[in-house]
Each structure stands twice: as C-alpha cells, then as structure tokens.
Amino acid sequence: MTPPLKNKLEVIMVLVLFALGLGMTVTGCLNPAANTPSTALAPGYINAQDQTMGEVLGTAHGIVGGLLQQATSGSFVPTATEKLTINSLVGALNVADAAYQGYHAGTVTEAQAAIAVSAVQTQQQLLQAQMGTGGK
Amino acid sequence: MGFAAWISLALNVALTSLQAAGIINPEIAAIATGFESSIIPVINAIQNGSSSLQDTQATLGAMIGMLTTLKQSGHLPADIAGRVDAYITAAEDGLAAFSKAQKGLDLADLTPLTPLS
C-alpha cells in the first residue's frame, strides 16, 4: 500500500537528519586538524580582540547587507516591527563601523570600539528574536 | 557567529509551520530540533578556532540542504518559504563575509549602510 504524502515527508526528514548526523560524525573523526585551535593573527589586525571585532562587524555587514538587498528587491518583505529593528541594527552597525575605523586610526580606544561592536550584537539578537515570531 | 543563528531561525520557522499544519508530528519536529541543538555549537566552534571553516561550511551546507528539502516538499506556505529563503541567504552572506574577514582586515568593507525607507 502506498504511504500517505505526510508519512513520506516524515521518512525523508528522518533520512536527511540521519545523513546529517552521520556526516558530522565522520567529519569530526577524520579531521583532527579541525580541533586544533588557530592562534595566527590575520593580516591587518592589531591583536586577537581586534580580529574578533573585525570578524563580528564583517559578518554583520554580510547578514544585514543581504537582508537589505532582499528587502529592496522585494524578495523579503519585513513587517513594520522588523523594519524598525533592521534599521536600528543598521544604525548600531554604522556607529560601530565608525568607532572601529577610529580605533584603527588611533582616535578611539579599543574599549570604546568594543562597546560599539557589542551593541551591534545585541541589536542582531533582538532582530533574530523578533523574526522568530514572524515580527509580531 | 551570527550566521549560525540565522540557519537555526530558518529551521525553527519551517518546523513550527509544518507542525502547526499537521504535516509533521511533534516527535519528528523534536528530533530535528535536537539535531539542530547539537549542530549549532559545531558551527559556533569556529569562533574560537576549534572548528575549521571547511567543516563549518559543510555542516551549514547540510542544514541548508535539509531546509531545501522541506521547501521542495511543497507543504510550506509561500510566506514562510520566503522567510526561510531570506534567512538562508542572510546566513550564506554572513558566512562569506566572515570567511573574508577571517583572512584579513579590509576597512573598505565596513562602509555605512542605508536604512530601509
């Protein structure tokens, strides 16, 4: 007897999850280098804290830039609440960018830049929480 | 890192929708959520250098594959599928930007963004 579509979907999900779990296990077992911490500083960064801040800001730019592009093109339609939070995140990101640029120019302390970067992370978490409820 | 949270968000939104519509039962949703709980720390481990970028990309790719399967099932409402797409794109863009920043600093990438009107 042919199983209903609902059951087929559940079987597909179980198989996909199994494959995903197997893939993670194999990856973890076969690649010991993956568990070796990297301490090398990438070019352009002053120290580890600086690199962390740069990576956080870079990642946030990628995420927010992508959301803005999708919202502008109409492929993603944020609710009014989401739009407000996205704009707050953009504001925090612009402030943090300026602080980080100032830190590299020697006009802003590392602690001041870190506070601005932390504000970006807070705004990003707020946006994710809102989107998880559909922006309601 | 922020991009992992976006994939987590996409999965949660998709599973909640499918469960609410009665397409999948709560047990299946719970299994998926359990996998997600174990996967997200793996992705986040890259932040302290305890996971390679390649492993993170592979794991993220597997999760995106699962979401694609859910979307292709045709059971997700259009608005939810649109949101899932937006979150996946945000995660992919975030991962690409993180990968670039990890290789070196380029201050030109940190230019002001324009808010939505």
Question: Percent of chain B having pLDDT more than 70?
Answer: 86
- Angstrom CA distances, A3 to A9, B32, B39, B69, B71, stand at 10, 22, 31, 19, 20
| Six-digit token string for B87 | 């979150």
Chain A hits for B50, CB-CB cut-off 8 Å, are 34-35, 37
- Please report whether residue A117 resides in a domain: yes
Cα B116–chain centre separation: 23
Cβ–Cβ < 8 Å for A81, B99:
no
Cβ–Cβ < 8 Å for B101, A41:
no
Residue from A59, A103, A117 to probe the interface with B (highest B Cβ count within 10 Å): A59
Domain count, chain A: 1
Q: Which position has the token pair 């996909």? A: A16
Say yes or no to pLDDT of A3 above 70: no
Burial grade of B45 (CB within 10 A; 0-12, 13-18, 19 or more): buried
Residue A69: which domain range? 49-136
Identity at A111, one-letter amino acid code: A
Euclidean distance between the first and final Cα of chain A, in Å?
43
Greater model confidence, B22 or A116? A116
Say yes or no to pLDDT of B11 above 60: yes
Judged by CB atoms closer than 8 Å, whether chains meet at A55 and B1 is answered as yes
Cβ of B4 under 8 Å from any chain A Cβ?
Answer: no
Judged by CB atoms closer than 8 Å, whether chains meet at A63 and B90 is answered as yes
| Six-digit token string for A44 | 């352009």
CA distance A50 to A135: 33
Polymer length of chain B: 117
- Please report whether residue A17 resides in a domain: no
CA distance B96 to A33: 22
Considering only the beta carbons, identify the residue of B9, B86, B101 that sits closest to A54.
Answer: B101
Judged by CB atoms closer than 8 Å, whether chains meet at A68 and B73 is answered as no
pTM of the model: 0.76
Could you report the predicted ipTM of this complex, rounded to two decimals? 0.77
Question: Percent of chain A having pLDDT more than 90?
Answer: 50
- A83 contacts: CB under 8 Å, gap ≥ 6: A71, B116
Sign of CA dihedral A76, B9, B59, B29: negative
Backbone angles phi and psi of A83, in degrees to 5: -60, -45
- Please report whether residue A83 resides in a domain: yes
Average pLDDT over chain B, rounded to an integer? 79
What confidence tier does B52 reach under pLDDT thresholds 50, 70, 90? confident
The CA R_g of chain A, rounded to the nearest whole Å, is 21
What confidence tier does A114 reach under pLDDT thresholds 50, 70, 90? very high
- Please report whether residue A41 resides in a domain: no
- Please report whether residue A23 resides in a domain: no
Identity at A67, one-letter amino acid code: L
Chain A hits for B63, CB-CB cut-off 8 Å, are 20
Cβ–Cβ < 8 Å for B66, B49:
no
Q: What angle do CA B79, B81, B85 make, to 5 degrees?
A: 115
> Is residue A76 classed as helix, strand or coil in its secondary structure?
coil
pLDDT of residue B85: 84
Judged by CB atoms closer than 8 Å, whether chains meet at A61 and B62 is answered as no
Polymer length of chain A: 136
Average pLDDT over chain A, rounded to an integer? 79
- Please report whether residue A13 resides in a domain: no
Least confident of A49-53, A124-128, A131-135, B100-104: A131-135
pLDDT of residue A128: 80
Judged by CB atoms closer than 8 Å, whether chains meet at B87 and A131 is answered as yes
- Give the pLDDT confidence of A57-92 residue by residue, as tens digits: 999 999 999 899 999 998 888 889 889 999 999 999
- Please report whether residue A36 resides in a domain: no
Distance from CA of B46 to the nearest CA of A (A): 9
- Please report whether residue A33 resides in a domain: no
What confidence tier does B48 reach under pLDDT thresholds 50, 70, 90? low
Judged by CB atoms closer than 8 Å, whether chains meet at B113 and A71 is answered as no
Cβ of B87 under 8 Å from any chain A Cβ?
Answer: yes
Alpha helices in A31-79 (DSSP H): 48-73
Chain B from 20 to 79: CB within 8 A of any A CB: 22-25, 28, 31-32, 35, 38-39, 42, 48-52, 54-55, 58-59, 62-63, 65-66, 69-70, 73, 75
